[in-house]
Amino acid sequence: MTRFYVTTAIPYVNAAPHLGHALELVQADVLARHRRLRGQEVRFLTGTDDNALKNVAAARAAGVGVAEFVAANAARFAALRDPLDLSFDDFIRTSADPRHRAGVHRLWDQCANSGDLYRRTYTGLYCPGCEQFWDPSELPGGLCPEHGRAPDPVAERNWFFQLSRYGGEILAALESGRVRIEPAARRNEVLAFVRGGLRDFSVSRPAARAEGWGIPVPGDPDQVVYVWWDALANYVTALGYGSGDRDYARWWAGSGERVHVIGKGIVRFHAVYWLALLLSAGQPLPTAVFVHDYLTADGVKLSKSAGNAVDPLAVAGRYGVDALRWWLLRDVAATGDTDFTEHRLVRRANQDLAHGIGNLVNRTVSLVHRYRGGRVPEPSANTAADLPGAIDRALSTFDFRAATGALRGLVGTVNRVIETERPWELARAEQAGDRVAGARLDTVLGGVVRDCRILARELEPFLPTGARLLCRQLGTPLGAPEPVFPRWP
């Protein structure tokens, strides 16, 4: 059986989590839960990027020790698990997990043994927000495209990685589909970048500038490993790469899918730099990189630095986790940024959950109780037979809108069956002695209940809490009719 290993990017912990982090976590959670529903072995990893210089700067600004500051914020990310109905199997903290440092050192040593590391002095434009150097040609108006500020001129003597050696191999991996990037627009963007030629990049920082925070470069304690090298390595260090290799052999080096779920701002790191590091170290590549765009507020990307971060815990507390997850999965575009407002969330929850899925199930259960005393007749035709396949196809291309659209589409189909067959009229005819009408009523009610059961089961990866309540209501014996999803004013 094919194993499925899915990861999120690990966020900096210079501030509390916002709705953009929730988007990525929920997307990865759906992929993990869906594959578990299909009977596959799944491992779902997330965590925090503790070793960034921006974390050091934030701790200094807060007047708190770096370790204390990082631990407190990392705990806030880990605490999203229950409020967002997440099912991750592992949570790695890059500053505190003993698996991580050993794995980073092993990856460094393997790349060094391949002759891909060297030292040189470098002068460039460095954005602390991105934790990366930018070429002047990549800075519209001289400003970082991600953070809208002018990068700082920095001159350092660092370790460099020979990225330029791997352009051909990376291009072959991407063009052949050995590493798949979804959506296609992001794949095309990466291909253009690689075809434009790759330049070596800095993979360490002076320990003095990092105030001693980070993982020391093996054999060079005056340097710490560049945070992006450090962060990317978490996908394998969490599997025991460098500290035993038991899970690494099972989930990365063995057969199976290895999928990264990331935001569009870090595609280059995952689809180019990470592939090069793995090629240098002689390790397998990921099989897919799924890329989402940004959430915005009034057209501005949600971020801590912009001061417009939306607290996902507050939103879930006001409207429930089902409403929040559904909006993230149903309304967020596959390509292009999506503007968040609570009004849009409420409108979508009312339309699709309260008046859609919830109303259909409540209506169905009520009909069976009214006309068959709660006994579900034996069904015949299966209206929902195509639903699992439609969801499989949509999620294979990272299209949550299409997947949730298939669920919502079945609601419309089953409602049309009820309106066409009019079970209340069949019941009246049966009471008047029409046995054919009675048999038809059994067929209709049995089929509708079965369709609702399939709908509830297929909904589970998307809305674990709501699906559980629906399955209980649709169980044997049939539960009492009651609304599962609230309607918001």
Helix/strand/coil for 118: strand
Count Cα neighbours of 287 within 13 Å in the Cβ-side half-sphere: 16
Using DSSP bridges, classify how beta strands 3-8 and 257-263 pair: parallel, antiparallel or unpaired: parallel
Annotated catalytic residue within 34, 100, 144, 270: 144
Contacts of 177 (CB under 8 A, 6+ apart): none
> Which of 474, 457, 466 lies closest to 326, judged by CA?
466
What Rg value do the Cα atoms of the chain yield, rounded? 26
The torsion angle over the Cα atoms of residues 403, 405, 408 and 413, rounded to 10 degrees, is -110
Distance, in Å, from the CA atom of 237 to the CA atom of 233, rounded to the nearest integer, reads 6
Scan for tokens 């040609």, then name that residue.
137
Would you call 111 a catalytic residue per the annotation?
no
Catalytic, out of 111, 127, 260, 292: 127
The yes-or-no answer on residue 270 being catalytic is: no
128, 118, 119, 93: which is closest to 231 by C-alpha? 93
Q: How far apart are CA 198 and CA 372, in angstroms?
A: 70
Does the CA dihedral 311-293-299-54 come out positive or negative? positive
Please confirm, yes or no, whether 54 is among the known catalytic residues.
Answer: no
Q: Which tokens go with 87?
A: 């099912």
Is residue 105 within 8 A of residue 281, CB to CB? The reply is: no
Residue 130 known to be catalytic? yes
Which residue is catalytic, options 130, 260, 292, 452? 130
The Cα–Cα gap between 201 and 289 comes to 22
| Catalytic site residue from 54, 100, 292, 301 | 301
Active site residue 18: yes
Secondary structure (3-state) at 153: strand
Query: Cis omega (within 30 of 0) on the bond before 477?
Result: yes
Q: Which of 147, 264, 355, 369 is catalytic?
A: 147
Decide if 452 contacts 481 (C-beta within 8 A). Answer: no
Cβ(280)–Cβ(166) below 8 Å: yes
Q: Which two tokens stand for residue 112?
A: 């060094």
The answer to whether residue 21 is catalytic is: yes
Candidates 236, 221, 225, 231; CA nearest to 117 is 225
First vs last C-alpha separation in the chain = 47
Among candidate residues 34, 105, 304, 452, the one labeled active-site is 304
Q: Which amino acid is at 119?
A: R
Query: What's the 3-state SS for 383-407?
Result: CCCCHHHHHHHHHHCCCHHHHHHHH
Question: So which residues are the catalytic ones?
Answer: 18, 21, 127, 130, 144, 147, 301, 304
